[in-house]
Amino acid sequence: MPIALRVPVRRLSQREFGEIAFEVMRHVFAIHKEIRRFFDETITGLNGPLAPFEEHARRLLAHSDLRAIAWVNVNMNEVTFTTLER
């Protein structure tokens, strides 16, 4: 099924992406601060294979101006540090 865009789309620069990510996270933390009393929070990690996540991260990297994506996966048995580069 084709996707029709009604507005022009362009790649974001690393700086533009960072500015948007910072602003989004500012809102996320503000909302979290207001509603956290309603949730029983836990810290979770990917408890299955990392390959599916890495595949999606590589796609994001291919379609952005990002030079690399780094993440830390923490679970009960191990801590994994991963960096994907172009």
pLDDT tens per residue across all 86 residues of the chain: 788 888 988 889 999 989 998 898 888 888 777 776 665 554 445 667 778 888 888 898 898 888 888 777 766 667 777 888 88
- Domain assignment present for residue 19? The answer is yes
Please indicate, yes or no, whether residues 31 and 50 belong to a single structural domain of this protein. Answer: no
Q: Is residue 34 part of a domain?
A: yes
Q: Do the domain assignments include residue 23? A: yes
Does 63 reside within a domain? Answer: yes
Token duo for residue 9 = 């789309």
**Residues spanned by the domain of 82:** 45-86
State whether residue 15 is helix, strand or coil: helix
Please tell me the pTM assigned to this model: 0.41
Total structural domains within the chain? 2
- Report yes or no: 14 and 65 within 8 Å, Cβ to Cβ: yes
Residues 16 and 28 in one domain: yes
What percent of the chain is predicted at pLDDT more than 70?
80
Say if residue 24 is exposed, middle or buried (CB neighbours under 10 Å; 0-12, 13-18, 19+).
exposed
49 lies in the same domain as 37:
no
